[in-house]
Chains A and B, each alone.
Chain A
Amino acid sequence: MITRPKIVAGVFVLGLVSLITAERLIQRASAADQATATVEAPRFEVDPAFPKPLPNGMLMGMAIGVAVDAENHIWVVHRPDTLSAAEAAADENPPTAACCRRAPPILQFDQQGNLISAWGGPGEGYEWPQSNHGIFVDHKGIVWIGGNGTNDAHVLTFTQEGKFIAQYGASGKTGGSNDTVNFGRVAKIFVDPKANEAYLADGYLNKRVVVLDADTGAFKRYWGAYGNKPDDTNLDPYNPDLPPVQQFRTPVHCSDLSVDGLLYVCDRPNNRIQVFTREGKFVKETFIAKRTLGDGAVWDVAFSKDPQQKYLYVADGKNERVYILNRDTLEIVSAFGDGGRQPGQFFAVHSIVTDSAGNIFTTETYEGRRLQKFTFKGVTQVPRDQGVVWPIKK
């Protein structure tokens, strides 16, 4: 016969065992949760001290392009004319305040964040864009810029010192998406070093990708969505519940070529990336934040710096985040960023690029007006939504 204390002790022991078991189960469950909650992806930390303040009280307007050259210098194009009289008070005549003045439109920063050159604007022999848009520094060190102003139907090239080289197309002469001389408000340029060809995201008016000879500017080929012949017929406003349209919806906002010769095109208000061969053969597409309206979710892309370019980074200036995609499957693996004016937050993150170390640089348009650096911290376990990626406290 079991005595009463023994029963109590037995129940106690049993209870203890159950508790331990339960705790182990909970531990196992939370481990499982954690496994599903995190994914392997690149991790970044914003560098709140980058870049260094601009000298001489200079301010940046809407920052609508960023590029990295062979020396890992960071190039930014912005719109000085978007700074109000109250902000650029020192430019007023007479000045209404000692601070601040408009910086020249093209800015070059070194890796430490120092501004090392600044130039740009109207000059002899070329037509400066009405509205600056997009910058690229090619394998020969040539600086390309586009423009999305009403009359901007051309692209320009300069030396890194700002000396004019060439203009392709002419201001005010656009002939639509099947014009083989002029463009329609070009958003971005990417030069393929192997074939020495320039890919133009054309653009805010036209609905196509154009390929030029990078030395002569000669037209080589162009195409629309799915490789179709582009058609400038007005499209109804984007509706996420309708089948995808067979044309790009302006602006066609990026056209960047990967190391394996695939062209990634930002079909911005259609919330999609379309992938093509160099020749314009449609390969595949993916949709991002499909219910995004207005400005759309696919603003710009950049590639990770591993030899295979395993990841594709997509800047979304409407949802204020950067998506990390598996470039092969086009699946969203993770994302970082959120809205706001503090480090690592965004207002209209417009352009994105990576340097040779895999660090990300972004610029913001509208009232964001910043260049930000996100330091690459390796491929590791990260949450699917990384939120604002501040430096981890040590």
Chain B
Amino acid sequence: MRRQLSVCVFVCAAAITGIAQAPPQWGVDPLWPQPLPNHWILGSVTGVAVDAGDRVWVAHRGLASLLTRTENGLDATPKGAEYCCASAPHILAFEADGRLAANWGGPGPGYDWPRNIGGIAVDATGHVWITAQGLPPAPPARTGAAAATTPPPPEDAHVLKFTREGKFVMQIGKAGAPGDATSKVGLLKPAAIDVDSAANEAYVADTGNHRIVVFDATSGAYKRHWVASGSTPFKAVACVSVSRAGEVYVCDRDNNRIQVFKKDGTFVREAIVSASTRGAGSVWDIAFSNDAGQQHVFVANGTEQTVHVLRRETLAEVGRIGTGGRWPGHFYAVGSVAVDSKGHVVTGEALQGKRVQKFVVR
């Protein structure tokens, strides 16, 4: 029996804005996706994307985000557990019905696997793009036996393109060789990527350089870049998403701000989302609704533990999905969002959330 919970994961549009035109309502499907095989568990989820076949692609941090003492004892040497658990591969895909459709990822010849994976995108040809987001500032150094004895791998400064089967295709940028804010070849801890398949261009949120960079999606050649409009620079650029109408939406996370540009970088408009949010900010990721006009924008807010539903034209809030907690339909650090062809909303939770969830149109 597959149920949709009617717990308070919806907020009626009218309750917030009083406007007449309400967006659809969504209910969490608590039994999606299906349990993973091999006692695999997810690490912190850093990206979700939906492909043309409505498969949901997930990027998660795996081992780097799991505590082997308590979470993934099967990965310890010697094994600390008999039955459970082990880190799932970094890249997973789920069919619309929740079955696991693909699992791959990790170091290989010819490319630099990220120290810390970031965003994920799937283009119209089915290629899977990921970013090497880099680690957040290191916690205080451990002393004694636990202290690292080998130097850390090179810092993340690149994006990668694979086939849907996980075969390496292309790398832009190089680990350990970051570029600055004017570089045409280098990046610094890019957090997100989107591909404009019509123009065959890849848009990269070059987080460490506070800019958006556009590359040719086949050759990887630099095409253009731009920074924030106005006097306030981007602070933690967490997403870049190209709408059907050809506008580029940028998540300026820690500034609680969305800036919208034309594809050439010309500023169009901006909006503040959840102005009272402090801390890590309100705009962690963006997705567009599936209707022809993409009337709505979904904003994952990992600080407020909710997904804001905005009118795309006005960027005014008309509803919310979810609130804080660990039960189905709740969030901890919801940091990524995507929409499938049916209008269902898929979310990924970072930090200790470590989940993907699907919210079905009711």
Contact = CB atoms under 8 A, between A and B. Distances in A.
B279 A294 contact: no
B39 interface: yes
B324 A294 contact: no
A96 B279 contact: yes
Most buried by A among B1, B326, B355: B326
B73 A99 contact: no
A99 B304 contact: yes
Interface in B1-55: 1-3, 5, 7-8, 30-31, 35-36, 39, 41-42
Given A97-B305, A295-B70, A320 B85 contact: yes
B84 A53 contact: no
B279 A391 contact: no
Interface string B58-76: 0000000000011111001
A11 interface: no
Contact of A320 (B30, B84, B327, B330): B84
A369 B326 contact: yes
Contact of B31 (A87, A94, A338, A343): A343
B81 A318 contact: yes
Contacts of A369: 326
A49 B31 contact: no
Contact of A54 (B1, B78, B81, B325): B325
A309 to B, nearest CB: 25
Contacts of B81: 289, 292-293, 318-319
A244 interface: no
A392 B1 contact: yes
A372 B237 CA distance: 37
A348 B69 CA distance: 11
Interface residues of B, number: 51
Contacts of A292: 73, 80-82
B326 A60 contact: yes
A57 B325 CA distance: 8
B315 interface: no
Interface in A369-386: 369-370
Interface string B108-129: 0000000000000000000000
A48 B30 contact: yes
B50 to A, nearest CB: 19
Nearest to A393: B1
A318 B70 CA distance: 6
Interface in B274-292: 276-280
B80 A294 contact: yes
Nearest to A88: B324
Interface in A75-110: 86-87, 89, 94-100
A59 interface: yes
A246 to B, nearest CB: 24
A98 B3 CA distance: 29
Contacts of B279: 86, 89, 96-97
Nearest to A368: B326
B3 A53 contact: no
A99 B306 contact: yes
Given A49-B5, A86-B303, A98-B304, A339 B328 contact: no
A391 B35 contact: no
A53 B323 contact: yes
Contact of B82 (A53, A57, A291, A339): A291
A297 B82 contact: yes
State the majority secondary structure of interface residues on A: loop
Nearest to A90: B324
A339 B324 contact: no
B332 interface: yes
Nearest to A392: B1
A290 B82 CA distance: 8
B82 A319 contact: yes
Contacts of B41: 339-341
Contacts of A316: 83
Most buried by B among A52, A87, A388: A87
B87 to A, nearest CB: 10
A253 interface: no
Nearest to B324: A100
Interface string B323-353: 1111111101100000000000000000111
Contact of B278 (A49, A97, A338): A97
Nearest to A49: B5
Given A57-B323, A391-B3, A293 B30 contact: no
Nearest to A341: B355
A207 interface: no
B354 interface: yes
Given A52-B7, A99-B324, A292-B80, A339 B71 contact: yes
Contacts of A154: none
Most buried by A among B280, B325, B353: B325
30 contacts: A49-B328, A52-B7, A53-B8, A53-B325, A53-B329, A95-B276, A95-B278, A100-B305, A289-B83, A293-B80, A293-B81, A294-B80, A295-B70, A319-B73, A339-B39, A339-B84, A340-B35, A340-B36, A341-B41, A341-B353, A342-B35, A344-B35, A345-B35, A347-B70, A367-B354, A368-B326, A369-B326, A387-B35, A390-B31, A391-B1
Which 8 A/B pairs are nearest by Cβ-Cβ distance?
A339-B85, A48-B30, A100-B324, A96-B278, A96-B279, A319-B83, A289-B82, A293-B80
Given A96-B303, A290-B82, A366-B71, 6 more contacts: A48-B30, A87-B324, A89-B303, A96-B277, A338-B84, A339-B85
